C-alpha cells in the first residue's frame, strides 16, 4: 500500500519514451523526487507552509523551479507528498515491534517510547507534527489522511499495549480510548516543543528527563494494585 501511494506521488514522468538509451547514471533523475521532498521537508518544517517559497525548495534540491513542477503539480501536492512520504513509514516499525515483543508490558512501553524518540522526536520528522497541527485547517483532507494513517494507528498500537497489560494483569483497568489519547499527548507535545519554543527560548526542556518522567508517571498511573513499575525483583 505504501508503495502504491508512493508511485502515485511521483507524478509519472512520461516514462514511455522508447529511445531513452538507458544511461547508467540516471540515479540523479530517480533521486529527484527524494531530493525535492527532503528539501521541502526542511523548509516546511522551518518556515511553515505559507512562508516556504518554491524557489527555495528547488534551489535547496539543486534543481530549477520548473523541474519541481515536473514532479508535483503544485505547492499543495508537494506539501501533501512531504507529509505522506515521511509519515507512513513511521508507524510500521512500532507496530512490528509491539507485535513481536514478548516481555512485560511496561518494558514494551519503554521500548516504544525509546523508538519514537530515536526515529521521530529526535529527528527533523518531528516537525511534521507541528505542520499537521498548523495546517490542518487549510488542508483538511491531508489532516484526515494523517489522522487515519498515523494518529489512529498509533492510538491503536498503544491501545493494544494497554489491553495487553490489562489482560496480563500488569495494568489496572482504565478506559482505553481516552487513556490512550492522554498517554499520547506528552509524546506529541515533546515533538511540538522541540519545533517551537525550544528554538527561540533558552532551552528549558530536558528531553531525557521529560521522557523518564513521562514513562515513570504513565506506568505508575497504570500500575495495578501494589504493582509498581520498578525493576523486576524490587517489588515487595
Partner DNA sequence: AATGAATGAGTGTTCATTCAT
Partner DNA sequence: TATGAATGAACACTCATTCAT
The residue ranges that bind a copy of itself (CB under 8 A) are 1, 14, 46-51, 130, 132-138, 140-141, 143-144, 147-148, 151-152, 172, 174-175, 177-179, 181-186, 188-190, 192, 195-197, 199-201, 204-206, 209-210, 212-214, 216-218, 220-223, 226
Three-class secondary structure of residue 171 per DSSP: strand
CA distances from 65 to 11, 85, 120, 162 (A): 16, 21, 30, 48
> How far is residue 103 CA from its own chain's centroid?
25
Which one of a copy of itself, DNA, none interacts with residue 15, CB within 5 to 8 A by kind? DNA
Which one of a copy of itself, DNA, none interacts with residue 160, CB within 5 to 8 A by kind? none
Place of cell 497489560: 165
Q: Residue 101 contacts by C-beta under 8 Å, 6 or more apart in sequence?
A: 107, 108, 111
Task: Count other C-beta atoms under 10 Å from residue 131's C-beta.
Answer: 22
Which one of a copy of itself, DNA, none interacts with residue 5, CB within 5 to 8 A by kind? DNA
Determine, following the binding rule CB under 7 A, whether residue 138 of this chain makes contact with DNA. Answer: no
Asked if residues 45 and 127 have their Cβ atoms less than 8 Å apart, the reply is: yes
Please return the burial class of 36, using the count of CB atoms within 10 Å of its CB with bins 0-12, 13-18 and 19+. buried
Considering only residues 19 through 78, tell me which ones interact with DNA, judged by CB under 7 A: 20-21, 23-29, 32, 51-55, 63-67, 69-70, 73-76
The CB-of-168 to DNA minimum distance in angstroms stands at 52
Which one of DNA, a copy of itself, none interacts with residue 13, CB within 5 to 8 A by kind? DNA
Q: Give the binding-site size for DNA (rule: CB under 7 A).
A: 34
Nearer to a copy of itself, 6 or 136 (CB): 136
161 CB-side CA count, 13 A: 30
Q: Could you give phi then psi for residue 165, rounded to 5 degrees?
A: -65, -40
The CB-of-137 to DNA minimum distance in angstroms stands at 14
- Residues contributing to the site for DNA (CB under 7 A): 1-2, 5, 9, 13-15, 17, 20-21, 23-29, 32, 51-55, 63-67, 69-70, 73-76
Amino acid at each position: 500500500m505504501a508503495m502504491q501511494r508512493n508511485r502515485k506521488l511521483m507524478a509519472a514522468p512520461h516514462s514511455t519514451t522508447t529511445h531513452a538509451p538507458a544511461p547508467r547514471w540516471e540515479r540523479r533523475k530517480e533521486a529527484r523526487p527524494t531530493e525535492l521532498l527532503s528539501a521541502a521537508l526542511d523548509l516546511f518544517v522551518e518556515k511553515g507552509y505559507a512562508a516556504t517559497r518554491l524557489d527555495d525548495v528547488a534551489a535547496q534540491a539543486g534543481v530549477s523551479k520548473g523541474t519541481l513542477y515536473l514532479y508535483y503539480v503544485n505547492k499543495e501536492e508537494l506539501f501533501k507528498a512531504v507529509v505522506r512520504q515521511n509519515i507512513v513509514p513511521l508507524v510500521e516499525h512500532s507496530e512490528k515491534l509491539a507485535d513481536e515483543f514478548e516481555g512485560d508490558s511496561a518494558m514494551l512501553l519503554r521500548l516504544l517510547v525509546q523508538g519514537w524518540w530515536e526515529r521521530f522526536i529526535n529527528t527533523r520528522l518531528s516537525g511534521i507534527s507541528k505542520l499537521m497541527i498548523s495546517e490542518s485547517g487549510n488542508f483538511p483532507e491531508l489532516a484526515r489522511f494523517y489522522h487515519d494513517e498515523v494518529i489512529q494507528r498509533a492510538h491503536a498500537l498503544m491501545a493494544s499495549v494497554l489491553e495487553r497489560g490489562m489482560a496480563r494483569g500488569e495494568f489496572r483497568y482504565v478506559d482505553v480510548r481516552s487513556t490512550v489519547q492522554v498517554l499520547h499527548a506528552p509524546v506529541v507535545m515533546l515533538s511540538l516543543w522541540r519545533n517551537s519554543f525550544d528554538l527561540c527560548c533558552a532551552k528549558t526542556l530536558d528531553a531525557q528527563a521529560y521522557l523518564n518522567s513521562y514513562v515513570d508517571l504513565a506506568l505508575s498511573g497504570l500500575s495495578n494494585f501494589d504493582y509498581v513499575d520498578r525493576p523486576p525483583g524490587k517489588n515487595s
